[in-house]
Amino acid sequence: MSGSVRSGAGLLWRHQRLVWWIFAVNLTIAWLSSLSARAMLSKVLDHSLESAKLVTGFNLGALVLMLERPDVQMGSLTSDMLGASLIFLVYLLFIDGGVLTVYLEDRKLSRAEFFENAGLFFWRMVRLSLYSLIPFALLGAAHSGINNAAGRLASDAAPERLGFYVQVGGGLVIALLALLVRLWFDLAQARVVRDGERQIFRTLLHSFKPAFTSGLYVKYVGIGLLGMLAFAAGTGVWVYLPHQAAAASFVVLELVTVTAIATRLWLKATSASWVALQPSGAAVTAAPPSESSAPASEDGLEASPNAPLPE
């Protein structure tokens, strides 16, 4: 494992409470958004013998018949799901400043420090996120074009598998480019937090070259692959669980979810640790620790006995 990857892994491990907090919020928002679905399903299924078809196995015909019922409003449930996702995105953007400060400084932040940094950088993170829509949209368009071309090849080209190979190969290239874009913006985020930079566009320009030259990209790919392997292993275990083992399925898939969050934070920590070692372009303007804050605990969080942990 190379320096920054190891360093990122160390940061991830030392500040693992960030992973668990993000996971907790991820789960809580999803759970709250699914309450209406739960109530709707409960009304239909809890007193029906037909529901056994969804417990002892997974009868897709029964599922579709249930979804065809007029009282099962899939449109409304899907809106809840999208709403929850947007809330989670805003939450992540909000805490980004605090998370990156923890990784850049590799020290314990009090709750006040954490939220001060979160608040300080929130709008800059939002702006970076909006900028990132441009390359991601371009990649999305390219992906759509590749899919269309692959569809045409799958239909018209003489070699039967050519379309498939183009689709898989093209999808892989797009995924790798998306990861590169993510690295570019992760570097920009880390620089913004380290330098207190307000010139977002300039920071983006300065971060572009290192995305290619820093050697971080290979590390990003490696970490991404490890994350995918973990995801595949987890879902592989889930597939072989019996249908009745709903609780075990839930636990396994939640572990997969935690792994996915950890992978994303590992990437962030890796880029942050690299940025932390680079000469600063401007004075570090991340909010200094609040004088009034309580001493930080070992994992970087305020050890106030009364307050909930902020991460």
Partner 1 sequence: MKIRCWRIWLMAVGALLAVSAAAQNTPLSDRVVAYQIEGTYNEKTHTLDATELLTYTNKTGTQLTRFPFHLFLNAFQPKSTWMTEAERTGQRDAPKGAGWEDKHFGSNEVKSLEIVGAGDVTKQMKFISPDDGNADDRTVFEIALPKPLAAGQSIQFKIHFVAKFPEVVARTGYKRNFLMAGQWFPKVGVFWNGTWNCHQFHASTEFFGDFGTFDVKLTLPAKWNVGASGVQTGAKDNGNGTQTVSFHGEDIHDFAWTADPATKVVEDSVRLSSGTVKIRMLMQPGHMNSVHRYLEALKGTMHKFDEWIGPYPYPQITVVDPPHGGGAAGGMEYPALFTAGTTWWEPNWYLEPEVTVEHEFGHQYWYGMVATNEFENAWMDEGINSYTEVKIMDALYGKETSYVNSRLGTLSERGLQRMSYGAAPDRDPAARNAWQFVDGSSYGGITYSKTALMMLTLESLIGEKTVIHGLHQYFERYKFKHPAPGEFTAAMNEAVGQNLDWYWKQTIDGTETLDDRILTASSERLDWYSEAPEKKGVTVYHNEVIVHRRGTFDIPVVLEAKFDDGSVVRERWDGKDRWHRFAWDRKTKLVSAEIDPDHGNLLDRDPFNNSWTEKASGKASGKLAGYWTLVTQWLEQALGWLA
Check residue 54 for interaction with partner 1 (CB under 8 A).
yes
How many C-alpha atoms does 29 have within 13 Å on its Cβ side? 18
Alpha carbons 183 and 240: distance in angstroms, whole number: 35
Q: Closest CB to partner 1 among 6 and 243? A: 243
Minimum distance of partner 1 from residue 298's CB (angstroms): 27
Check residue 158 for interaction with partner 1 (CB under 8 A).
yes
Check residue 226 for interaction with partner 1 (CB under 8 A).
no
Q: What is the C-alpha radius of gyration for the chain, rounded to an integer number of angstroms?
A: 23
Check residue 42 for interaction with partner 1 (CB under 8 A).
yes
Q: Which of 200, 179, 195, 203 is nearest to 268 (CA)?
A: 179
**Residues from 94 through 153 that contact partner 1 (CB under 8 A):** 96, 125, 129, 132-133, 136
CA–CA distance from 158 to each of 85, 161, 162, 164, 167 (Å)? 43, 9, 8, 13, 16
Stretch that binds partner 1, among 6-14, 27-35, 197-205, 292-300 (CB under 8 A): 27-35
- Tell me which DSSP letter residue 50 carries: G
55: Cβ contacts below 8 Å, ≥ 6 apart: 243, 244, 246
Minimum distance of partner 1 from residue 151's CB (angstroms): 10
Long-range pairs for 146-151 at CB < 8 Å and ≥24 separation?
A: 146/170, 146/171, 146/174
178: how many CB neighbours lie within 10 A of its CB? 16
Stretch that binds partner 1, among 64-72, 112-120, 206-214, 283-291 (CB under 8 A): 64-72
Check residue 75 for interaction with partner 1 (CB under 8 A).
no
Minimum distance of partner 1 from residue 145's CB (angstroms): 19
- Tell me which of 20, 237, 254, 255 binds partner 1, using CB under 8 A: 254
Check residue 62 for interaction with partner 1 (CB under 8 A).
yes
Minimum distance of partner 1 from residue 155's CB (angstroms): 3
- DSSP β-bridge partners for residue 296: 302
User: CA angle, 273 as apex, 271 and 276 as ends, to 5°?
Assistant: 110
- Tell me which of 1, 24, 27, 284 binds partner 1, using CB under 8 A: 27
Check residue 13 for interaction with partner 1 (CB under 8 A).
no
Where does residue 215 fall: left (phi above 0), alpha (psi -120 to 50 degrees), or beta otherwise?
Answer: left
Minimum distance of partner 1 from residue 286's CB (angstroms): 18
**Residues from 256 through 285 that contact partner 1 (CB under 8 A):** 257, 260-261, 264
CA–CA distance from 49 to each of 38, 41, 195, 244 (Å)? 18, 14, 62, 16
- Tell me which of 9, 37, 230, 255 binds partner 1, using CB under 8 A: 37
Instruction: Give residue 226's Cα distance to chain centre.
Output: 15
Minimum distance of partner 1 from residue 60's CB (angstroms): 4
**Residues from 176 through 195 that contact partner 1 (CB under 8 A):** 182
Q: Closest CB to partner 1 among 158 and 277? A: 158
Stretch that binds partner 1, among 81-89, 203-211, 270-278, 289-297 (CB under 8 A): 81-89
